[in-house]
Chains A and B, each alone.
Chain A
């Protein structure tokens, strides 16, 4: 079977160069429509997004307002872009996860469901461990065990979602650790 590309002319896409004027601008009302997506961002990321895409501040102004250096702000903007792409993926599978909670949750223990939900919302083993009051190494072990259980039960839709999360750990960084925070024990790593 021959697969044909039926979308835009690929050469046109290759030659497209995005200028500063192409940066999307949103009104506050449009931002509200994106609330489910923006909800996954932490305060720091949302402030940057709001200042650039809604308040239409120049990057130099955002640097001044937030007291950030140009390289670190640039780094954050790139990270936010990747993070948003992943959050959009999570949004597309959100209903599948809710259906799973309704229909197949009884096949998993309460602890397994808790790990799955916290991993879905944070993509972080560390945050999941902290919220559950468990050592991270145990959460990692249980999470891998859940993936094997999904395979055994043939829950391929869930397996795909959580395997994607497994390979993109920490991409949704909901909470930033304060700069002066010192880990209290080796298990916090």
Chain B
């Protein structure tokens, strides 16, 4: 039997309706490209602050990715459009 919740992602800050409709895509990791890094401002060490949303992200240990410091600091695809 297929698990309904397998592909289901929810974040209470966006509400249930959007999540059920599946019209939000969560971004939990970005490739460390020039375009991606322009959306952030350096905040000491590997820390980066997303300019549009104030979310706190950081460079991964190998420097290839940018990822949230706290689980609650996920971004949506809309946030990325606003920030670019």
Contact = CB atoms under 8 A, between A and B. Distances in A.
Contacts of A74: none
Interface string A13-46: 0000000000000001101101110111111001
Given A28-B16, A35-B13, A36-B54, A121 B41 contact: no
Contacts of A31: 13-15
A116 interface: yes
Interface stretch (A58-66, A107-115, A159-167): A107-115
Nearest to A26: B15
Contacts of A116: 44
A34 B13 CA distance: 8
Chain B binding surface SS class: loop
Contact of A39 (B17, B18, B42, B73): B73
A188 interface: no
Given A43-B71, A46-B72, A110 B15 contact: no
Chain A binding surface SS class: helix
B13 A111 contact: no
B72 A39 contact: yes
A70 to B, nearest CB: 22
B44 A121 contact: no
A77 interface: no
Interface in A80-134: 94, 98, 101-102, 105, 108, 110-118, 121-122, 131-132
Interface of B: 12-18, 41-47, 49, 53-56, 69-73
Interface of A: 28-29, 31-32, 34-36, 38-43, 46-47, 49-50, 54-55, 94, 98, 101-102, 105, 108, 110-118, 121-122, 131-132, 174-175
